[in-house]
Amino acid sequence: MASVSNLSTLNPAASLSEALPHRRNSSRNCFLSFKPSSSAADYKISLSSSLRSLPSIPRKTSLRIKCSQTDGNGSPAKRTVLHDLYEKEGQSPWYDNLCRPVTDLLPLIASGVRGVTSNPAIFQKAISSSDAYNDQFRELVQAGKDIESAYWELVVKDIQDACKLFEPIYDQTDGGDGYVSVEVSPRLADDTEGTIEAAKWLHKVVDRPNVYIKIPATEPCVPSIKEVIADGISVNVTLIFSLARYEAVIDAYLDGLEASGLNDLSRVTSVASFFVSRVDTLIDKTLEKIGTSEALNLRGKAAVAQAALAYQLYQRKFSGPRWEALVKKGAKKQRLLWASTSVKNPAYPDTLYVAPLIGPDTVSTMPDQALEAFIDHGTVHRTIDSNASEAEGIYNALQKLGIDWGFVGNQLEFEGVDSFKKSFDSLLDSLQEKANSLKLVSH
């Protein structure tokens, strides 16, 4: 990571409590609209009718969950299917987005969201399309920070503030939930040691117990995962696209726990972000080229089938003597997290990558579109292992048609890393332009 040595320990420019009274309406990146309140405790979800009874909404409209002050009697927020998802089936719904002000997350938390994920593309959109970062950015550049150092300070403030909002969930679940994820620089995807250094640095400057440091599951970074876990840092392993790489990620987590030397492993946790919709996007193109009825009938089925097999692998790996020895030291399972849950093909049901993947000890992180759809018309019951033999049959049938699962995983990993690098570079360019427009740097 460039300029790490130039970065000081970060301190948010303004405390969350100071920000709360001054928050303003925003629908910039979040699908919620708000009314101001004097404290976080004064927020509740106010729905005129049951979300489940609402008609299916057009794809391009936005379900607005209005937020209002309570009447002072502490009446609880209205339940949604997200509460049922966690309480009845043991799956944690997270939100795959983050924008400033982070208080936009308050009604989401009230509606049952239990964590947040971010990535370079999300920050690129949030920072480049908003003026909410201008004041802090101006101060940082005037203080002599280079553009990349300034970027990380903007990001760290958002992460710290979001961690504060989710800390009650983290405490209530004894570190089982309530996490906020922040990713190391995507430029480090092929750099084992650089990733280790960046993860340790991010963990230190964010300095929150409920932060997850995101590390990509690239081949060079799998050893990084082991080292970072061994150092006692909780990790969200991202960009997992194949069963083979997922097993390597699990082994890295187990190796890291065993190498840590800690007597109490309960505070070192992890999730493995298994990407879903992008698998269908790539495989469907191949199936359409093949063009047979058998091939065309398998469109839209590959991603969920592979995910179901990943859950079987999860169950096998987190059982038996090796795992039981770690449990005695307080170890927690590395939960499977379903990522890339928005539907890319408009012909598919809008809950395709959420509804069939419900099961205990898992996380589903949903961007606006998927979260909105599931709250509106999602149903809650265990589905992830309801038909394991069918998932295996689909996986094998695709293989017989010539689908190379190893190639699919490698190709999607390459595309994912490349996309994040481009978002990261684009954001730095945008910040440079913003600095120039604000006449903060000399030419």
Tens of pLDDT along 348-371?
A: 999 999 999 999 999 999 999 999
| 3-state SS, residue 261 | coil
User: What sign results for the dihedral spanned by CA atoms 160, 17, 20, 105?
Assistant: positive
The single residue of 125, 164, 214, 301 carrying the catalytic annotation is: 214
The number of distinct structural domains making up the chain is 1
Q: Is residue 331 part of a domain?
A: yes
Beta strands per DSSP E along 125-283: 180-183, 211-216, 235-240, 270-275
Q: What is the pLDDT of residue 77?
A: 59
Tokens of 44: 């509740």
For the question of whether the overall pTM of this predicted structure is more than 0.85, the answer is no
Q: Is residue 5 part of a domain?
A: no
Q: Is residue 58 part of a domain?
A: no
CATH code, domain carrying 400 = 3.20.20.70
| Spatial CA neighbour of 336 closest among 303, 308, 294 | 308
Distance (Å) of CA 248 to CA 29, 125, 251: 34, 32, 5
More confident residue, 189 or 12: 189
Q: Is residue 76 part of a domain?
A: no
Q: Is residue 153 part of a domain?
A: yes
Q: Is residue 129 part of a domain?
A: yes
Q: Is residue 32 part of a domain?
A: no
| Spatial CA neighbour of 126 closest among 214, 241, 28 | 28
Tens of pLDDT along 279-326?
A: 999 999 999 999 999 999 999 999 999 999 999 999 999 999 999 999
Is a pLDDT exceeding 90 seen at residue 170? yes
Tens of pLDDT along 375-425?
A: 999 999 999 999 889 999 999 999 999 999 999 999 999 999 999 999 999
Domain that holds residue 308: 81-442
Active site (annotated) includes residue 285: no
Tokens of 131: 């003026």
Q: Is residue 26 part of a domain?
A: no
Is a pLDDT exceeding 80 seen at residue 6? no
| 3-state SS, residue 362 | strand
DSSP string, 111-166: TT---EE--HHHHHHHHHT-STTHHHHHHHHHTT--HHHHHHHHHHHHHHHHHHHH
Question: HSE of 114 in the Cβ direction (CA atoms, 13 Å)?
Answer: 25
Is a pLDDT exceeding 50 seen at residue 29? no
